[in-house]
Chains A and B, each alone.
Chain A
């Protein structure tokens, strides 16, 4: 992990560039997550580059170092173990034209792909999107599609042999697949010189293995591996409003998201943020988020029996129970100029985030900390 962190910092220092005709940013971020049975350290590197006068390319790479004593991660007898997940991705967006017709003043198309690999889970995702500007760029509408294909096994099981998974009723193999197709739409509307409204709508359909390969459901007559339904259709609609107060340089951001799926999980997520500019070189944000969800139709704390005829589905997944969370967060951003840095480093941005999540389930409360440095450059 130290080597990975050092590599990220070296890469950031190497790209401190001289003169040229295009811009970009390189960002290094480290995240620490801690809850009762799990600890995660995630260093990541993000890049954004101009490509010609109409293209923007992005790329990222990260490592998830997960140390867990949770049975859902494959730990046996609560013995903690560490596993790494590696993820890389890239994207490209191209501006097709600034004025297409009298009514369409901008049109962008883009695509992205990402790959994630760990010992028991491999995921490939590809997506495409388009955005159009209307009404003198007061309105922006977007539409996108995504497709992911995952392969899941129980390779992290700490037993003498790798167990098989029930990919679908009556069919067991050493690895199962999961395919997710998604459609997402978005719109933003300028309401005034100081207010913007945003709306998003997402729908996705998952087909394949959606249980945890290690978790066991508890019943009065024994225990059995989880048996989740193999199809799930999710929809979510969200709205946000940003309002800027010029006199105090304060921005108020409110959002709300409603989610439902055919496992009968309903969730509400209201959130408020207050963003305060501090002089020219710093900003501070505080955030509160509330999340509440219902229980999936097949979830029980304890089943009467593991018999498939009585209970076709079994689960021990705490995130399918009804519960709520409260998130409190403080964030500080400072430009390099505040420390007297010159050249490109004057525009570098240092960021620190501290979050506390009060979770009303067996995961327990969590602490999350981010430290990030973003450096602009020319090439």
Chain B
């Protein structure tokens, strides 16, 4: 599993570096401004999902929002 994650991380970093030279001008970003391309989840939906996973999944620590109670740790 570790090997898989390292390969994935490497791929992501390489992909990011390769695209650094692509510049999309402001007037070309109409599609990028759409709800589906920015954040299609409301804050309440995202917060509930995070809390529910924190109660039911062991891997709940990567979201940067620890705590929140519920007593079902």
Of chain A, the residue at the smallest CB distance from B15 is A197
Rounded to whole Å, the gap between the CB of A291 and the closest CB of chain B is: 6
Whether B69 contacts A87 by the Cβ 8 Å rule is: yes
Which of chain B's residues have a CB closer than 8 A to the CB of A135?
A: 20, 23
Nearest-neighbor residue (CB-CB) of A147 within chain B? B66
A57 at the interface (CB under 8 A from B): no
**CA separation between A152 and B71, bound complex, in Å?**
8
* Shortest Cβ gap from A100 to chain B (Å): 17
| Chain A contact residues, majority secondary structure | strand
Residues of the A chain whose Cβ atoms lie less than 8 Å from the Cβ of B28: 193
Question: A120 vs B72: C-alpha distance in the bound complex, in angstroms?
Answer: 10
Verify if A293 is at the interface (C-beta below 8 Å from B): yes
Count the B residues whose beta carbon is within 8 Å of the partner chain — how many?
Answer: 50
A320 to B60, CA, bound (A): 11
**CB-based contact B48/A42 at 8 Å:** yes
Q: Mark B41-73, 1 if CB is under 8 A from A, else 0.
A: 011110110001001111101111111111111
Total count of chain A residues near the partner, CB < 8 A = 109
Asked, given contacts A121-B71, A239-B12, A258-B5, whether A193 binds B62 with beta carbons under 8 Å apart, the answer is no
Chain B residues with Cβ below 8 Å from A120 are 71
Considering the chains assembled together, what is the distance between the CA atoms of A124 and B5 in angstroms? 32
Contact B73–A210 (Cβ < 8 Å): yes
Within 8 A of B (CB), among A264-320: 265-269, 273, 275, 277, 283, 285, 291, 293-294, 296, 319-320
Contact with B along A93-134 (1 / 0, CB 8 A): 000000000000000000000101110111111010000000
Q: A44-B47, A64-B70, A319-B55 are in contact. List 10 more A-B contacts (CB 8 A).
A: A60-B44, A114-B67, A144-B64, A197-B15, A213-B71, A234-B62, A237-B9, A320-B58, A368-B52, A372-B44
Point out residues on B near A: beta carbons under 8 Å.
1-2, 4-5, 8-9, 12, 15-16, 19-20, 22-26, 28-29, 31-32, 34-37, 40, 42-45, 47-48, 52, 55-59, 61-73
